[in-house]
Structure 1
Amino acid sequence: MILPIYEVSDLIESLSFANAVFTNEIDEEYLKNTADTVVLITESINDLDKRANNRFRNLSYGVEVQIFYGTNFDKPILDVEIAVARKLESDDWHLSQSKSHINDPKTNQVTKVFYFTKNFLLEE
């Protein structure tokens, strides 16, 4: 099983709306680049769950998806966000939280944060 952050990264990359998708941290070259749209995926939950016969049977996992829309982004933002949510839901991820859009007054860059969770049932 690959780490769920990489699973989510692959799903988001398949939508082809971002210039770059990163896990854990954004590459230095993109930190001050506000023209490109960048997605950062980090782990938010990692719990063993549902014990039976003194063994855990389930892994509860959560990811935080941060979207930093480039100042040159020309697609309808809400359409992109709906596509992200539906893509992850189609792979059994559940949208647990959607934060408000934030507009950075210095860069005029819009950001959005989602939290998704997924339960992995472990085999014997």
Structure 2
Amino acid sequence: MRPVDEVADVITGLFADWQVYSDAIPEEVIDDRHVTQVLLTEAQSDVSEYGGNTFNMMSLGVDIQIFYSLDYDKNMLLSEVILMKQLEDARWRVVDSQAHYLDLSQTDNQQTIKNITVNKTVLVDEIG
């Protein structure tokens, strides 16, 4: 399972109405501003902790970009705290949580965007 798949499982388990995509948002839905979309991309995949002439751990990272629906009527900050706490429970550490900003490429109704980066260190034996 890819790191983005693990994070996607956490997000969809919490927010079933969010559309979660790995690597790219499909062209046919990218302009739908009436649904919250989440784009997940791998941010890190490094080997570490050498012993016995080989590496024994991997440091994994995922960038989470949330494009909130124009109709989002819940508390965004609370939703993000819930998400980050659940990711921590799944052993993902929040290493960056940027301020909200508006998608200035949209001229009429601008979506609010949130970026979060999470990392996880796993033993090679745990992968699989």
* Fold similarity call, TM over 0.5: yes
Q: Name the counterpart of 2:15.
A: 16
1:18 Cα deviation from its structure 2 partner: 4.2
Q: Name the counterpart of 1:120.
A: 122
Pair 91,5 (structure 1): closer, same or farther in 2 beyond 3 Å? same
Q: Name the counterpart of 1:95.
A: 94
Q: Distance in 1 between matches of 2:98 and 2:43?
A: 15
Letter in 2 for 1:108: Q
With the length of structure 1 as denominator, give the TM-score of the two structures. 0.93
Quote the RMSD (CA, aligned, Å): 1.4
1:19 Cα deviation from its structure 2 partner: 3.0
Query: How many residue pairs get matched?
Result: 123
Percent identical pairs in the alignment equals 33
Letter in 2 for 1:9: A
Residue 25, structure 1, aligned to residue 24, structure 2: yes
Gaps of 5+ in 2: none
Gaps of 5+ in 1: none
Runs of 4+ residues over 4 Å off in structure 1: none
Q: Distance in 2 between matches of 1:30 and 1:75?
A: 22
Residue 80, structure 1, aligned to residue 79, structure 2: yes
Letter in 2 for 1:89: E
Q: Distance in 1 between matches of 2:17 and 2:98?
A: 19
